[in-house]
Structure 1
Amino acid sequence: MKSFLFSIVLCASLASFGQNLTAAKILEKSINYHDPNGNWNTIKAGFTVEMTTPNASKRTSQIRIDLVKEFFSVKATRDTVTTIYSVNKGICGMSYNGKDLDSITAKEKNMSCDRATLYKNYYTYLYGLPMKLKDPGTNLSENAEKKTFKGKDYLVLKVTYDEAVGSDVWYFYFNPKTYAMEVYQFFKTDENGNEKPDSGEYILLTDEAVVNGIKMPKVRAWYYNKDDGYLGTDTLVDK
């Protein structure tokens, strides 16, 4: 009898895990968890990120995002060097230790407008997740998967991108009870568009910080997929 009852409970538990929701529904529930008031599209915020990596000194980045005014800036300090990149309605600006740079002097410092755009896309993408998965050019798989990763159960969404956006394949791992995003992972692809299993990285998200009503990951730890090699950690800090 005990064995029979256990089987019933186990089957019920498996059936309820994720409630057989579509990928689109899971994404909707996760967005409702992270951004319940729909603040992301009009976000105007500043926050500070500290990056620690093996065998390197800490880098502190002060980030400002104003999506309505199409403004982004990042002021990064490591040791005695402070750089500022900004993008204001598509126009970039750069400075090095308080001195504004033109394109020629910027090149001497290994700085460029392309890098300014790269930083803008990087920070707005990662801190705008999972809301950014609604952006044009993002292709969400129809069905979710149920996976166990690092000993925890997750609902997993697979995402690819239009060629103009990117060639990597991403997987997003959501808590099946709260729909909080707790892990993301990406793989590079070969010339045929197939995943390269020993490529890419996974990122573990722990703790949360609330920025303009949005629950953002407080700590992001990066690792290689191929050998679990540790790359570094980004931490949202109060400044």
Structure 2
Amino acid sequence: MRKLFLILVILSFSSCQFEERSVESATELVEKSIQFHDPNQMWGSFSGTFSIKDSLPNGRASRRYEVSFQNQLNKVHYRNDDLEFIVWEDSVQVFKGEIKKDRALMLRNYYSYLWGLPMKLMDPETKVEEEILVEDLDGKSYQVVRIPYEKDTWYFYFDPESAQLEAYKFYQDEVKQKGEIIFLEGLVEFEGLRIPKNRSWYRTEKEEFLGTDQLISIQSQNSN
């Protein structure tokens, strides 16, 4: 009986230690999420094409476009019916339509960042606040990571069990709660990568739907 009691005490102590170890820092939570979305660490060398459709409110026409990434080269190739351009490092080459260089560079960074989440959260210039926050969103409790950038403050919402990234929001003015929140739904899988399929955008300061980006497919691409 005494031996049984000691075994139960040891098991109870071990269980408590396991629970304590499962309480992660924000960096560890991000790493766990990356393990879910990119277990083979593909994103840094990814070379492929995303086919995307957006759905806009108020009867505005949907658009289809493609974005090709060659991440090792910091290169993005964008094309739709009216516009086609390549950004490679700080160079811009326009094949169809018109776009200013600053705008093209911004779009390269925009697509590389948002479609590369959560992997992009481990970029060297990203400063993760280590406290894990807890917040209810749409009736579900999330583990939340806060990351302040130079112009915006971002919050990332992770499933507490799998660490899947399910939403994020950013504030241009956090005091006034002015910004946007993006809900993620579904996954597109490609050679181990799990990229969110649908991204639905809303304003944070008022109830306003801005649109949904839908990832139709991912295709591999030979380097050019």
TM-score (norm 1): 0.78
Tell me which residue corresponds to 1:70.
74
**Which aligned pairs between 1:131-150 and structure 2 lie closer than 5 A?**
131-150=119-138
Secondary structure of the residue aligned to 2:109 is helix
Tell me which residue corresponds to 1:103.
none
CA distance in 1, matches of 2:133, 2:69: 33
Secondary structure of the residue aligned to 1:201 is strand
Tell me which residue corresponds to 1:39.
42
Secondary structure of the residue aligned to 2:160 is coil
Residue 221 (str. 1) matches residue 200 (str. 2):
yes
Note the residue ranges of structure 1 that are not aligned, 5 or more in a row: 1-11, 98-105, 190-194
Secondary structure of the residue aligned to 1:133 is helix
* Higher RCO structure (Cα 8 Å, ≥6 apart): 2
The CA deviation at 1:200 is 0.2
CA distance in 1, matches of 2:21, 2:86: 41
User: Residues 94 and 219 (structure 1 numbering): CA distance in 2 closer, same or farther, change over 3 Å?
Assistant: same
Give percent identity, aligned residues only. 32
Residue 180 (str. 1) matches residue 183 (str. 2):
no
CA RMSD of superposed structures (Å): 2.1
**Which aligned pairs between 1:103-182 and structure 2 lie closer than 5 A?**
106=98, 111-161=99-149, 166-182=150-166
CA distance in 1, matches of 2:111, 2:38: 17
Tell me which residue corresponds to 1:199.
178
Count of aligned residue pairs for this structure pair: 201
User: Residues 17 and 216 (structure 1 numbering): CA distance in 2 closer, same or farther, change over 3 Å?
Assistant: farther
Q: Once the two structures are superposed, what CA deviation does each residue of 1:93-138 show, in whole Å capped at 9, x if it has no partner? A: 11336xxxxxxxx4xxxx2111111111011100111111111221
Report the AA paired with residue 139 of structure 2: G
Report the AA paired with residue 231 of structure 1: L
CA distance in 2, matches of 1:236, 1:181: 16
Note the residue ranges of structure 2 that are not aligned, 5 or more in a row: 1-14, 219-224
CA distance in 1, matches of 2:216, 2:44: 23
Secondary structure of the residue aligned to 1:215 is strand
Secondary structure of the residue aligned to 2:39 is coil
Q: Once the two structures are superposed, what CA deviation does each residue of 1:44-74 show, in whole Å capped at 9, x if it has no partner? A: 0111110111131111111100012332111
Contact 1:45 1:212 in 2 (8 A): no
